[in-house]
Structure formats: structure tokens, C-alpha cells
Amino acid sequence: MNRKLISGLLAAMLIIPLMLSACSSSKPEVNKVRIGEVTRSIFYAPQYVAISQGFFKEEGLEIDLQTTPGGDKTMTALLSGVIDVALVGSETSIYVKQQGSDDPVINFDQLTQTDGTFLVSRKPVANFDWNMLKGVTFLGQRKGGMPQMAGEFTLKKHNIDPKSDLTMIQNVDFANIPSAFVSGTGDYVQMFEPQATMIEKEGKGTVIASFGKESGALPYTVFMTKKSFMTKNPNTVQKFTNAIQKAQNWVRDHSVDEISASIVSYFANTDIDVVKNVVKRYKEQSSFATDGIIDQAEWNNLLDVMNAAGELKSRVEWKDVVDNSFAEKAKSNVK
């Protein structure tokens, strides 16, 4: 083997790793994003608008939307790499942070900014006062979940101890809460839409108050991803956030009828009038965030809510699990 060939092989052995490294660093970002939503809900209307109005496509993204019922299942899917982005309560990122992680979960785009549940009574209540709940049987949500914590925060705000002033039921699965109430469990129930409106239309209950109005502004439902995915795919995350901002602008500027028509295909078994009623309720109480920025005041309110529920080991700093850079850029550039 001549010297020239040996020299060429040695040079190639040195160059190839560098070429592979360069190829790896310039590897194209993903253009298909797998979203896991914690439930299918009209509460998430801007997400469905982003798909139905083609805003993700405009950004060059293909969306694979999966429903992974429950915050624990959604977070497990994210941490195990089954999905790329989770749409779930921001409290889940705090639980992950408290447990410790080499690849933290980062909140990067807010979708809803209030609690989405309502107080439903079995019978109509004239001149409702929160003190009327003392002594009743209350069908609540899952312990440690954002709905339950917002519910307890609201009760305590009205000087009601959820442990001693009423009988709290929390052993019913999320999906079975409406049927449990209809079958006779509880005098009052904390319930999401559209089930609350549907029960009201059937004459089996009455919506009498909003936990969203009572518990204040919160980073309630947020798009989050692992830090590693964000680092490897910053342009994809930006395009994703741009699409959601377009949808948020569209929802802000369009009527209840137009929003309902845009999302009704995602709720095939729900009457269009029910969809309209739910969209109207959420829009009127400003549940749909108008941009994806998670501000410190909202975050601190979230920590207060979690602390009141006894679910906060220590206050997790906003800067440790929130990255607003994508939402700020989207708000600035998307018109």
C-alpha cells in the first residue's frame, strides 16, 4: 500500500467523524409534531382552530393530535417520548420539577388562562351564596389536579373548609363524574363543559357559578415540552407557537358562531347549540388566552392555589420551568 493511499485513508478517518458531527448538528428539525392533549374539550378551542383554519400548515407543520386522558398519563407520554408536546395543566411541570429531572419540562405557550369548571347544583338555586355549600355532599375532581385545587381555593376564599364544612367525594374517575352526578351522587358537582351545559339542557342540573371567575387568572392549560426537544428543535417550537398565536388572534376577532363552526367537527356527538353555549361562556369569562405568555403574576397565583391545596413542596421559580421567548416573538410578529 503506497504512502499516498495510506495518507488518504488517514485523512479520511479524521475527516469522516467531523463530517458526521456536522451532519448531526445540521440535522433538519422535525416538521411533524405529536401533541398529547389531557382531554378533548371545547375549553381548548384555539388549538382546534389552529388545525381547522390551517395555521399549522401555514407554518409548515403536520400535527398528530392524540388524547391522553389524565395529567399523569399525558406527562408520562411526554417524558417517555411518545409525544413531543403536551397540552396539560402547568402544575404537572411543577410536579416533575419537584421530583427532579435531568431533562426538565418547560412551559412555552399558554392556551387557557382561567379554570374551566363550573358549579352545578342538582336543583335550581335562587340567590345562590357560597355559604349554601356548607353541610352538602360535593362531587369534586381528582386530588392534586388543577380543577380540584382551583375548586378548593375558591371554597376557602369563601371561608368554606373543604375537609370539614362539607362532604367531599373524590373517588370518581374524571370521565364518570357527569354520569355519577346524574345517577344521584352529590348535591353539587364541579364539572367541565360541555357536560355542564348538556346536563342543564336535560333538566338534570343547573349551572350556578364559575370556578374560573372565582379563582382568577392562572396558567391553567399550557403547551409544554422537554428541554431537550426545545433545544434540538427551536424553529419547530417557534412555528408551533406562531400557529397558536394566529388561532388566538382568530378566536379573539371572530364570533361565537364562527368559532363553533370551526371546531364542531372535533365534537361529533355534541349538538352545535351546546358547542355555541360553551364557547360563549368561556369567551365571556376570558378563559381563552389571547397570547401564549405566562406572566409571573399568573404563576404566583398558581403557586398560591397549589399551596392552599397542600400540593406544593416548595415554590418553584417561574424562570425555572417557563420560557416565554417563543410566545413573545409570536405575539410581536404574528398579526
Task: Quickly list H helices, 130-203.
Answer: 146-157, 177-182, 195-201
pLDDT tens column, 252-292: 999 999 999 999 999 988 999 999 999 999 999 999 999 99
Strand 137-139 to 167-169 pairing? parallel
| Three-state secondary structure string covering 184-239 | CCCCEEEEECCHHHHHHHCCCCEEEEEHHHHHCCCCCEEEEEEHHHHHHCHHHHHH
In the CATH hierarchy, which fold is given to the domain comprising 117-215? D-Maltodextrin-Binding Protein; domain 2 (3.40.190)
pLDDT of residue 27: 64
Mean residue pLDDT across the chain? 89
Give the global pTM: 0.85
Q: How far apart are CA 196 and CA 292, in angstroms?
A: 27
DSSP letter at 322 equals B
How crowded is residue 209: how many other Cβ atoms within 10 Å of its Cβ?
A: 20
What residues does each domain of the chain span? 32-114+218-333, 117-215
pLDDT tens-place values along the chain, 335 residues long: 333 323 332 333 333 343 444 444 456 787 999 999 998 999 999 999 999 999 999 999 999 999 998 888 999 999 999 999 999 999 999 888 888 878 999 999 999 999 999 999 999 999 999 999 999 999 999 887 888 888 999 999 999 999 999 999 998 988 899 999 999 999 999 999 999 999 999 999 999 999 999 988 889 999 999 999 999 999 999 999 999 999 999 999 999 999 999 999 999 889 999 999 999 999 999 999 999 999 999 999 989 888 888 888 888 888 899 999 999 999 999 98
pLDDT of residue 23: 43
Q: What is the DSSP string of 21-84?
A: HHHHHTPPPPSEEEEEESS--GGGHHHHHHHHTTHHHHTT-EEEEEE--SHHHHHHHHHTTS-S
Please give the C-alpha separations between residue 26 and each of 18, 19, 80, in angstroms, as whole numbers: 12, 10, 25
Half-sphere exposure for 49 (CA within 13 Å, toward CB): 27
The answer to whether 32-114+218-333 and 117-215 have equal CATH topology is: yes
- The CATH number that domain 32-114+218-333 falls under is 3.40.190.10
pLDDT in tens, 35-44: 999 989 999 9
